[in-house]
């Protein structure tokens, strides 16, 4: 353990944070792929995030931010970086129809809280297997809805340890993108403004969309959700299917036969399996259709060829 890491661990212990040394990232990602990180720190509130992430940044300790690990593909070779895993916390009402959430709150918990309080607007997000922070970071969306439709404001931490409060208009939110995808800031919490509605109607819509997910998506296999962003003017899954790539397999990785927009881990898929398969799909689609597909999952790797 380096001296800097020892200092970070000491800070974590003072803050009451759980620390896991040399965790396998496959245990913290929905793809179930990934080697060891230097350490993983469990952060369950804004104050711990401010203290530890700022300490790491000021001491040049490399780090990655995790939530539910649902949009991450991690290298089997692992990483020398540390992982700050934001988890825990409870949504709270601040006013009649605004909900405030710590970034580590699971999206499904936020949707359930909205239902309990008779608030609609988040039904589209029910079943998205990520955290609030991750959903804001990538402007998660499904079935005609996006996080930006209901997001009011965000509290974020920059690399110098400064906390910023951004209005929704300042977040540069577009398809699977926000200011956070390029600014290096960390989402700490978010406020969502919803609308009063009948609980039975909200629940019915949530149930309907969950059934659609189960019928159309390969939820029975580990994956990082949609593997490719939707190219302008087309749909990734449709392009992949038209190119005859449905079911294409490399090692334990496969283009799902249920939904060709998903690359799945059929069992013991390696990082290299997935990256090779993604490369084959991108090459074939561009060659046959002219569309250049872009990966949606964040790649965690110390290897230069995979660094973003």
Spatial separation of the C-alpha atoms in residues 19 and 40, rounded to whole Å: 6
Residue 307 has pLDDT above 80, yes or no: no
Architecture of domain 236-306: Alpha-Beta Complex (3.90)
Cα 242 to Cα 84, 150, 238, 245, 281, distances in angstroms = 40, 35, 6, 8, 12
Domain with CATH 3.30.43.10 in the chain: 8-86
User: In this predicted model, what pLDDT tens digit does every residue of 114-170 receive, in sequence order?
Assistant: 999 999 999 999 999 999 999 999 999 999 999 999 999 999 999 899 999 999 999
Residue 304 has pLDDT above 90, yes or no: no
Q: What is the mean pLDDT of residues 271-290?
A: 97
Spatial separation of the C-alpha atoms in residues 269 and 265, rounded to whole Å: 5
Contact between 35 and 225 under an 8 Å Cβ cutoff? The reply is: no
Burial 244-254 (b: 16+ CB within 10 A, else e): ebbebebbbbb
Instruction: Write down the mean pLDDT value for the chain.
Output: 95
Domain with CATH 3.90.78.10 in the chain: 236-306
Q: Is residue 63 packed enough to be buried (19+ CB in 10 Å), middle (13-18) or exposed (0-12)?
A: buried
Q: What is the mean pLDDT of residues 14-27?
A: 96
User: In this predicted model, what pLDDT tens digit does every residue of 186-236 receive, in sequence order?
Assistant: 999 999 999 999 999 999 999 999 999 999 999 999 999 999 999 999 999
Assess if CATH 3.40.50.2000 describes domain 92-216: no
Residues acting as catalytic residues: 176, 226, 296
Residue 1 has pLDDT above 90, yes or no: no
Domain with CATH 3.30.465.10 in the chain: 92-216
Dig out the tokens for 243 from the structure. Answer: 């190119």
Report if pTM > 0.75. yes
Assess if CATH 3.90.1640.10 describes domain 8-86: no
pLDDT at 305: 85
Cα 135 to Cα 36, 115, 167, 256, 291, distances in angstroms = 25, 18, 16, 23, 26
pLDDT at 12: 97
User: In this predicted model, what pLDDT tens digit does every residue of 30-84 receive, in sequence order?
Assistant: 999 999 999 999 999 999 999 999 999 999 999 999 999 999 999 999 999 999 9
The β-bridge relationship of strands 63-66 and 82-86 is: parallel
């Amino acid at each position: 353990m380096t001296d800097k890491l020892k200092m970070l661990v000491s800070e974590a212990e003072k803050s009451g944070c759980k620390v896991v040394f040399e965790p396998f990232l496959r245990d913290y990602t929905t793809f179930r792929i990934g080697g060891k990180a230097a350490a993983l720190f469990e952060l369950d509130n804004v104050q711990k995030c401010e203290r530890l992430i700022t300490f790491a940044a000021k001491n040049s300790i490399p780090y990655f931010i995790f939530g539910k690990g649902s949009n991450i593909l991690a290298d089997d070779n692992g990483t020398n970086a540390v992982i700050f895993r934001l988890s825990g916390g409870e949504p709270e009402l601040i006013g009649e129809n605004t909900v405030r959430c710590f970034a580590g709150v699971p999206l499904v918990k936020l949707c359930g809280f909205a239902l309990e309080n008779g608030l609609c607007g988040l039904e589209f997000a029910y079943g998205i297997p990520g955290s609030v922070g991750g959903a804001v970071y990538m402007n998660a969306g499904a079935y005609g809805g996006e996080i930006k439709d209901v997001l009011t404001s965000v509290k974020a931490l920059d690399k110098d340890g400064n906390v910023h409060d951004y209005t929704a208009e300042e977040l540069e939110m577009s398809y699977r993108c926000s200011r956070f995808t390029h600014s290096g800031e960390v989402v700490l919490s978010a406020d969502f403004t919803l609308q009063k509605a009948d609980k039975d109607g909200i629940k019915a819509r949530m149930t309907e969309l969950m059934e659609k997910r189960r019928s159309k998506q390969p939820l029975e296999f580990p994956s990082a959700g949609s593997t490719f962003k939707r190219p302008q003017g087309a749909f990734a899954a449709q392009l992949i299917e038209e190119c005859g790539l449905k079911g294409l397999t490399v090692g334990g990785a496969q283009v799902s036969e249920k939904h060709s927009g998903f690359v799945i881990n059929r069992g013991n898929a390696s990082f290299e399996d997935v990256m090779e398969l993604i490369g084959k799909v991108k090459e074939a689609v561009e060659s046959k259709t002219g569309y250049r597909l872009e990966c949606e999952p964040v790649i965690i790797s110390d290897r230069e060829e995979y660094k973003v």
